[in-house]
C-alpha cells in the first residue's frame, strides 16, 4: 500500500505563510538527513524540512532531483556548473575520492517531486504553479487538503483554479463527511485524469469484504461519475488508436512510395528497395556525424540537412545500379528479381563493412521529442506527427512531379507505351534512369524519417521490403491512389487488430487477409484500366 | 571457413606473442590447453555476443600472463556460429571432436544453448553459459554462470511490490516472443499468484523479434495502469528495446508513474542510447560496472585497457554477461588446477565448491547443480547510461535450477 500524503499531510496552512516570509533557512544537518540514510529516515527528514520551507529548500530539492547532490564524509555538496559547493559554507570545494552521489529511488523521487510541487504551488511564476498542480493531479492520493484550500484562496488564474478545484474534489473523496464526499464524487465526473479514475476505483474496492466507501449513495454517485469519465477516456483512446493507425500507415506509405515508382510504374521487381531505405538512414547518420564534427551548435538541425542528402545518396546509388545492372534486364522479371536481391546483399555487406555490424544511433532532436498533450491520457508524440506531415509532403511533391512536370509526363508515356514514346523522341533510357533514381531517392527519404522511430542497422531494410510489396500489390500496381489507400488502410487495420489480438497475431491475420484479397482480386484495390494493362 | 581460420590464427598468434614475451620458459615447457569460444560474431546476436568473445580473450590473456593454468598456456579457438542456432551445434561438435578443446565458453540465447546440449551429451563436452536465463534445466555438461530466475526476475518483482519500488499491484509482462520471455513470465505468474495477485491484474503481451512500433502497446500500458499502481516487467530482447523506451519517453510516462524493469538491458545496450528520458527505469542483474570494490575497479580498468589496445570502440563498458564470462573462465582454471587434469569428468567433480572473488564484490561459489551463488542488485538508470544500485540482496543468493512456481517437467 502506498502511504498517501506522508510528506504533505504535515504541510498545513500555517507553514505556508513561511513561504512568503522565508524566515528559516535550510540547515546543513537537515540537508544531510534528506540526502542520506535509508528511505524512511530521508522521508521523515523531508517531512520535517517542509514544515518551514524556504527558497533554499526548493533549490535543494531541485538539485536533488537533478542528481546534483553528493555526500562527502558527512558533508553535503551541491553541483553548480562544473564546481561542487559545500552547502554549509557556500564555498567551492574539491570532492574527495569518497564522495558519493545521492541516489533517489523512485519512491523517494516521487516524494521529492510532491514536496517540490507543494512549494511551487505558491510560486509567483504561473508556469511553475501550473506545472505543480498538474504534477499533483497525476497523484491526487498524496495531496494534502489544507494545502489545496490555501492555494485556492490566493489563486487568481482561471485555468489553475479549475485544476485546483478538481484536485480539491479528489482530496475530499476521502473526507470523513459523507456530504462532502458526495459533492466531490459529483464534481469529479468532469475530470479527465486517469489518476482520478484510479482514485474512484479504489473507493469502490470491497475486496476484504468491507466497502471502502461505506455510504451507498456516495457509492452510487462514484459509479455514475466513473461511467462519465470512462466514456470520455474511451473517446480519447479511440482517437489515440486512430492516430496510431494513421501514423503506422504513413510509415508504410513512405516506405512503399518509392516502390510504387520502381515496381508500380516501371515494373522492376526491386528486392533491394529496403536497402535503399537503409542507405537513406545511414546518410542521415553520416549527416549527424558531420554536424557533430563541424557545426556542433546546430546539431539539432542535422535532420533537416539530412533530408535532401539522403534523397541524393539513395537516388544516386539507385541511378548507378540502374545504369550498370537493371537496364540490361528490362523485360526479364525473374533475372531482375535475382539480380536486385544480389544487390541488396552487396549493399548490406558494404554498409556493414563501412559502419560495423552494430546498430548506429541517430538522436531525436529536441523538437521531435516528447508529445502534445491532447488529454490526460492522450499524448501525441511529436516525432510521429512530423512523420505524418513529412509523408504528406513527399506524397504531394511526387504527385505533382508525376502529374505536372515534363519528366512526369515522360515517365507516364514510357510506362504506357515504350515503343511509341521512343518513336516520338523521348529518350527512354534516360527516363528509366531518372525514374529509378526517383523511386530509390524516395526510399532514401523514408530511411531518413525512419531513423526517428526505429533502429538503424545494416539489416533494417529487410524488415520493410515485405510490407512495401504488400502495400503496392494490395493497392494495385501502377496506382498512386491505390498505394495511399492500401497503406493507410493496412495501418489502421493492423493497429485495431493489435489491440484485440496482440502484435504477433495481428501481423499473421493481416497477411492472411491480404492473400485472400489478392486471390479474389489479383489486380489490387484500384485496377489500372486501358490498353496499357496488357503490355 | 576463411574467416574462422583467420580468427583462430590471429587469436593463437596474439596469445603466443603475449606468452612468449612474459613467460617464454613456461610456454616452451608445457603443452597448451585448448578452449573453445562459441559466440556469434555476425548476424542479429553479434551486438551482444561479440563483447563476450572479447572479454573471453582478455581473461585468457590475463591468465596466461600470470603463468597460465598450472604452467600450461590457454589457447583459445574462436569460431563464429553466426546467430544461426543449428550452426551452434555444428561448431560445438567441431570444437570438441576436431579441435579437442577442454571446455567451451559460449552461447547467449537459450535456443542456441538448447541446440548445443545434444552434442555436449554425446561427446562429453563442458559448456560455460554466461547469460541470465529462464532456468528449468540442469544438464551436467553445462555450468550456468548467469542468473537463474530466483537470482533476477523474482527479486526484481518483489522489489517492485515493495514501498521503495512503487508498491505495484498490477503487472504488465512484456516480452519478445520466444522461450526465455515465455518461461520467465510463466514463473512470474506463478510467483504473483502465490503472492495473492489475481489474473485480472496481470497482462502478458509479446512482440516479434525486431519489433519497432510500440505505440499501441504503450497506450495499452497506460490504460492498464489507470486501474491501480502498475509496473512493467520487460523481457524484450535485442534492439527492440530502443524504440520501446523511446515511445515510453515520448508518451510522457515517467519512471515514478509506471516503473519499468528490464531483464535484458545492460550497460552495453544503453551505450548507444540517449538515456536522459530513461532516468529511473530499473534493471536487475548480478553485476554493474558502477559497483565500487577493488576487484571491480581492476576488472573495469583491465577491460578499458584491452578495449584501447585492441581498438574495440564499440564496447566501451562492462556488463553482467561479461562478468559472468570472466568468472566462468577463472572457475574452470581453478577446477583444472585442483583436478590436475583437463578431463571433463574430473574437472566437473572439482568445479563444485570452487570459489572466486568476483567483480560483483562477493566470493561466488559453484553449487552442486552447477549454478552459482551470486548477489542480486537492482539498478536504476542514470543520466550517463550507468546504473545506481537501489537495492541489493543480503549476501549471496543460491541459483535454483527448478522454479517452485511452475510444475517441473516429468522427463527432467
User: According to the model, what pLDDT value does residue A14 have?
Assistant: 39
In a domain, residue B112? The reply is: yes
Which of A:22-41 have CB within 8 Å of B? 39
Q: A96-105, A311-320, B314-323, B365-374 — which is least confidently predicted?
A: A96-105
Distance from C-alpha of B200 to C-alpha of B231, rounded to nearest angstrom: 14
How does residue B23 score in pLDDT terms, banded at 50, 70 and 90?
Answer: very low
In a domain, residue B412? The reply is: no
- Contacts with A364 from chain B: Cβ below 8 Å: 246, 274
Q: Which of B226, B257, B269, B314 to mutate to test the interface with A (most CBs of A within 10 A)?
A: B226
DSSP output for A376-428: TTEEEEHHHHHHHHHHHHHHHHHHHHHHHSHHHHHHHHHHH-HHHHHHTT--H
- Sheet containing strand B104-106, edge to edge, reads B74-79, B33-38, B104-106, B127-129, B142-144
In a domain, residue B407? The reply is: no
- Mean local confidence (pLDDT), B205-209: 87
> Is A385 or B246 the better-scoring residue by pLDDT?
A385
- Contacts with A459 from chain B: Cβ below 8 Å: 44
Picking from A319, A321, A327, A314, the residue whose alpha carbon sits closest to that of residue A342 is A321
In a domain, residue A516? The reply is: no
On whether both B116 and B262 belong to a single domain, the answer is: no
In a domain, residue B410? The reply is: no
Could you say which of A105, A370, A455 has the minimum Cβ distance to residue B250? A370
In a domain, residue B34? The reply is: yes
In a domain, residue A151? The reply is: yes
Distance from C-alpha of B15 to C-alpha of B13, rounded to nearest angstrom: 5
A·B CB contacts under 8 A: 143
**Any B CB within 8 A of A495 CB:** yes
In a domain, residue A132? The reply is: yes
On whether both A193 and A268 belong to a single domain, the answer is: no
Picking from B317, B377, B393, the residue whose alpha carbon sits closest to that of residue B51 is B317
On whether both B158 and B193 belong to a single domain, the answer is: yes
Contact between chains at A241 and B208 (C-beta distance less than 8 A): no
User: According to the model, what pLDDT value does residue B411 have?
Assistant: 63
Distance from C-alpha of A319 to C-alpha of A315, rounded to nearest angstrom: 6
**Any B CB within 8 A of A357 CB:** yes
For residue B39, give how far its alpha carbon lies from the nearest alpha carbon of chain A (Å).
15
Q: What pLDDT digit, counting tens, does each position of B83-129 carry?
A: 889 999 999 999 999 999 999 999 998 989 999 999 999 999 999 99
**Any B CB within 8 A of A67 CB:** yes
The whole-chain average pLDDT of chain B stands at 88
Q: Which of A249, A358, A368, A458 to mutate to test the interface with B (most CBs of B within 10 A)?
A: A358
Tell me which residue range forms the domain holding A381. 252-461
- Contacts with A379 from chain B: Cβ below 8 Å: 250-252
Tell me which residue range forms the domain holding B134. 2-147+291-373
CB atoms closer than 10 angstroms to residue A349: 11
On whether both B207 and B124 belong to a single domain, the answer is: no
Picking from B266, B332, B347, B299, the residue whose alpha carbon sits closest to that of residue B128 is B332
Contact between chains at B252 and A360 (C-beta distance less than 8 A): no
- Mean local confidence (pLDDT), B280-286: 92
Q: Strands B170-176 and B202-207: what pairing?
A: parallel
Please state the ipTM of this predicted complex: 0.79
- Contacts with B277 from chain A: Cβ below 8 Å: 369
Contact between chains at B222 and A371 (C-beta distance less than 8 A): no
On whether both B186 and B280 belong to a single domain, the answer is: yes
- Contacts with B390 from chain A: Cβ below 8 Å: 103, 105
N-terminal to C-terminal alpha carbon distance within chain B: 37
Residue B259 belongs to a domain with what CATH number? 3.40.50.2300
Q: What pLDDT digit, counting tens, does each position of B62-79 carry?
A: 999 999 999 999 999 999
In a domain, residue B235? The reply is: yes
Contact between chains at A106 and B388 (C-beta distance less than 8 A): no
Helix residue ranges, H only, A174-215: 178-187, 194-204
Distance from C-alpha of A153 to C-alpha of A16, rounded to nearest angstrom: 12
Distance from C-alpha of A310 to C-alpha of A287, rounded to nearest angstrom: 9
Element (H, E) at A66: none
In a domain, residue A235? The reply is: no
Domains held by chain B: number: 2
Positions of chain A with pLDDT under 50 = 1-23, 530-535
On whether both A323 and A435 belong to a single domain, the answer is: yes
**Any B CB within 8 A of A289 CB:** no
On whether both B176 and B121 belong to a single domain, the answer is: no
Could you say which of A377, A495, A499 has the minimum Cβ distance to residue B222? A377
Asked if pLDDT for residue B321 goes beyond 90, the answer is: yes
End-of-domain residue from the set A461, A477, A492: A461
In a domain, residue A328? The reply is: yes
- Contacts with A345 from chain B: Cβ below 8 Å: none
Amino acid at each position: 500500500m502506498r502511504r498517501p500524503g506522508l510528506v504533505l499531510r504535515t504541510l498545513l496552512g500555517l507553514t505556508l505563510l513561511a513561504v512568503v516570509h522565508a524566515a528559516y533557512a535550510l540547515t546543513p544537518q537537515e540537508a544531510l538527513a534528506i540526502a542520506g540514510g535509508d528511505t524512511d529516515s530521508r522521508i521523515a527528514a523531508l517531512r520535517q524540512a517542509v514544515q518551514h520551507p524556504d527558497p533554499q529548500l526548493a533549490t535543494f530539492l531541485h538539485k536533488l532531483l537533478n542528481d546534483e547532490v553528493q555526500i562527502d564524509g558527512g558533508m553535503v555538496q551541491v553541483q553548480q556548473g562544473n564546481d561542487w559547493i559545500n552547502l554549509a559554507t557556500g564555498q567551492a570545494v574539491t570532492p574527495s575520492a569518497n564522495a558519493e552521489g545521492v541516489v533517489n529511488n523512485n519512491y523517494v523521487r516521487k516524494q521529492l517531486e510532491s514536496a517540490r510541487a507543494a512549494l511551487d504551488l505558491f510560486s509567483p511564476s504561473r508556469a511553475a504553479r501550473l506545472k505543480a498542480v498538474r504534477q499533483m493531479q497525476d497523484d491526487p492520493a498524496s495531496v494534502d487538503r489544507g494545502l489545496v484550500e490555501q492555494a485556492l484562496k490566493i489563486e487568481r488564474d482561471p485555468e489553475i483554479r479549475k485544476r485546483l478545484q478538481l484536485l480539491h474534489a479528489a482530496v475530499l473523496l476521502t473526507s470523513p463527511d459523507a456530504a462532502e464526499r458526495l459533492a466531490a464524487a459529483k464534481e469529479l465526473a468532469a475530470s479527465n485524469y486517469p489518476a482520478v479514475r484510479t482514485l474512484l476505483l479504489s473507493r469502490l474496492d470491497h475486496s476484504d469484504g468491507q466497502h471502502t466507501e461505506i455510504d451507498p449513495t456516495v457509492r452510487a454517485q462514484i459509479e455514475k461519475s466513473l461511467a462519465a469519465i470512462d466514456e470520455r477516456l474511451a473517446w480519447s483512446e479511440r482517437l489515440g488508436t486512430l492516430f496510431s493507425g494513421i501514423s503506422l500507415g504513413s510509415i508504410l506509405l513512405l516506405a512503399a512510395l518509392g516502390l510504387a515508382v520502381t515496381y508500380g510504374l516501371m515494373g522492376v521487381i526491386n528486392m533491394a528497395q529496403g536497402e535503399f531505405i537503409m542507405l537513406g538512414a545511414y546518410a542521415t547518420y553520416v549527416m549527424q556525424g558531420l554536424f557533430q564534427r563541424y557545426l556542433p551548435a546546430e546539431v539539432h538541425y542535422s535532420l533537416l540537412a539530412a533530408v535532401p542528402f539522403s534523397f541524393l545518396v539513395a537516388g544516386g546509388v539507385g541511378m548507378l545500379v540502374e545504369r550498370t545492372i537493371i537496364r540490361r534486364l528490362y523485360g526479364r522479371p525473374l533475372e531482375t528479381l535475382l539480380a536486385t536481391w544480389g544487390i541488396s546483399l552487396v549493399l548490406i555487406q558494404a554498409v556493414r563493412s563501412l559502419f560495423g555490424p552494430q546498430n548506429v544511433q541517430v538522436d531525436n532532436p529536441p523538437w521531435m521529442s516528447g508529445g502534445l498533450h491532447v488529454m490526460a491520457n492522450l499524448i501525441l508524440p511529436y516525432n510521429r506527427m512530423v512523420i505524418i506531415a513529412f509523408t504528406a509532403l513527399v506524397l504531394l511533391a511526387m504527385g505533382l512531379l508525376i502529374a505536372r512536370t515534363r519528366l512526369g509526363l515522360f515517365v507516364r508515356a514510357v510506362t504506357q507505351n515504350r515503343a511509341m514514346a521512343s518513336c516520338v523522341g523521348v529518350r527512354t533510357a534516360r527516363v528509366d534512369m531518372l525514374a529509378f533514381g526517383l523511386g530509390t531517392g524516395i526510399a532514401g527519404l523514408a530511411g531518413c524519417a525512419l531513423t526517428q522511430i526505429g533502429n538503424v542497422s545494416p539489416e533494417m531494410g529487410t524488415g520493410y521490403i515485405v510490407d512495401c510489396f504488400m502495400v503496392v500489390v494490395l493497392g494495385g500496381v501502377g496506382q498512386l491512389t491505390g498505394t495511399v489507400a492500401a497503406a493507410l488502410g493496412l495501418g489502421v487495420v493492423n493497429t485495431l487488430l493489435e489491440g484485440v489480438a496482440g502484435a504477433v497475431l495481428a501481423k499473421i491475420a493481416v497477411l492472411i487477409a491480404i492473400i485472400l484479397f489478392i486471390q479474389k482480386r489479383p489486380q489490387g484495390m484500384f485496377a489500372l484500366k486501358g490498353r496499357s494493362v496488357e503490355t | 571457413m576463411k574467416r574462422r581460420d583467420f580468427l583462430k590464427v590471429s587469436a593463437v598468434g596474439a596469445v603466443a606473442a603475449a606468452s612468449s614475451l612474459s613467460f617464454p620458459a613456461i610456454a616452451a615447457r608445457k603443452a597448451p590447453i585448448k578452449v573453445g569460444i562459441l559466440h556469434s560474431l555476425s548476424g542479429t546476436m553479434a551486438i551482444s555476443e561479440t563483447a563476450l568473445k572479447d572479454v573471453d580473450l582478455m581473461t585468457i590473456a590475463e591468465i596466461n600472463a600470470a603463468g597460465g593454468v598450472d604452467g600450461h598456456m590457454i589457447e583459445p579457438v574462436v569460431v563464429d556460429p553466426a546467430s544461426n542456432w543449428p550452426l551452434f551445434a555444428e561448431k560445438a561438435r567441431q570444437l570438441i571432436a576436431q579441435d579437442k578443446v577442454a571446455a567451451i565458453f559460449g552461447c547467449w540465447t537459450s535456443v542456441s544453448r538448447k541446440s548445443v546440449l545434444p552434442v555436449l551429451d554425446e561427446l562429453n563436452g563442458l559448456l560455460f553459459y554466461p547469460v541470465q536465463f529462464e532456468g528449468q534445466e540442469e544438464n551436467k555438461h553445462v555450468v550456468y554462470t548467469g542468473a537463474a530466475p530466483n537470482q533476477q526476475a523474482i527479486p526484481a518483482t518483489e522489489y517492485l511490490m515493495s514501498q521503495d519500488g512503487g508498491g505495484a499491484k498490477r503487472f504488465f509482462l512484456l516480452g519478445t516472443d520466444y522461450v526465455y520471455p515465455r518461461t520467465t513470465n510463466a514463473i512470474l505468474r506463478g510467483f504473483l499468484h502465490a503472492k495473492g495477485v489475481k489474473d485480472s491484474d496481470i497482462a502478458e503481451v509479446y512482440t516479434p523479434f525486431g519489433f519497432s512500433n510500440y505505440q499501441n502497446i504503450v497506450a495499452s500500458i497506460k490504460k492498464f495502469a489507470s486501474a491501480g499502481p502498475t509496473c512493467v516487467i520487460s523481457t524484450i530482447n535485442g534492439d527492440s528495446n530502443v524504440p520501446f523506451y523511446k515511445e515510453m519517453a515520448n508518451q510522457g510516462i515517467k519512471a515514478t508513474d509506471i516503473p519499468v524493469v528490464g531483464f535484458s538491458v545492460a550497460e552495453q545496450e544503453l551505450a548507444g542510447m540517449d538515456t536522459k528520458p530513461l532516468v529511473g527505469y530499473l534493471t536487475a542483474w548480478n553485476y554493474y560496472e558502477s559497483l565500487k570494490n577493488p576487484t571491480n575497479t581492476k576488472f573495469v580498468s583491465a577491460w578499458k585497457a584491452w578495449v584501447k589496445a585492441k581498438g574495440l570502440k564499440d564496447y566501451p563498458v562492462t556488463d553482467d554477461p561479461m562478468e559472468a564470462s570472466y568468472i566462468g573462465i577463472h572457475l574452470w582454471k581453478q577446477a583444472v588446477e585442483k583436478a590436475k587434469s583437463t578431463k571433463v569428468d574430473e574437472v566437473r567433480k572439482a568445479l563444485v565448491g570452487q570459489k572466486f572473488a568476483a567483480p560483483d564484490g562477493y566470493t561466488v561459489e559453484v553449487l552442486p547443480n552447477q549454478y552459482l551463488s551470486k548477489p542480486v542488485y537492482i539498478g536504476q538508470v542514470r543520466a550517463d547510461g550507468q546504473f545506481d544500485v537501489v537495492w541489493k540482496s543480503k549476501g549471496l543468493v543460491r541459483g535454483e535450477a527448478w522454479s517452485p512456481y511452475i510444475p517441473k517437467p516429468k522427463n527432467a
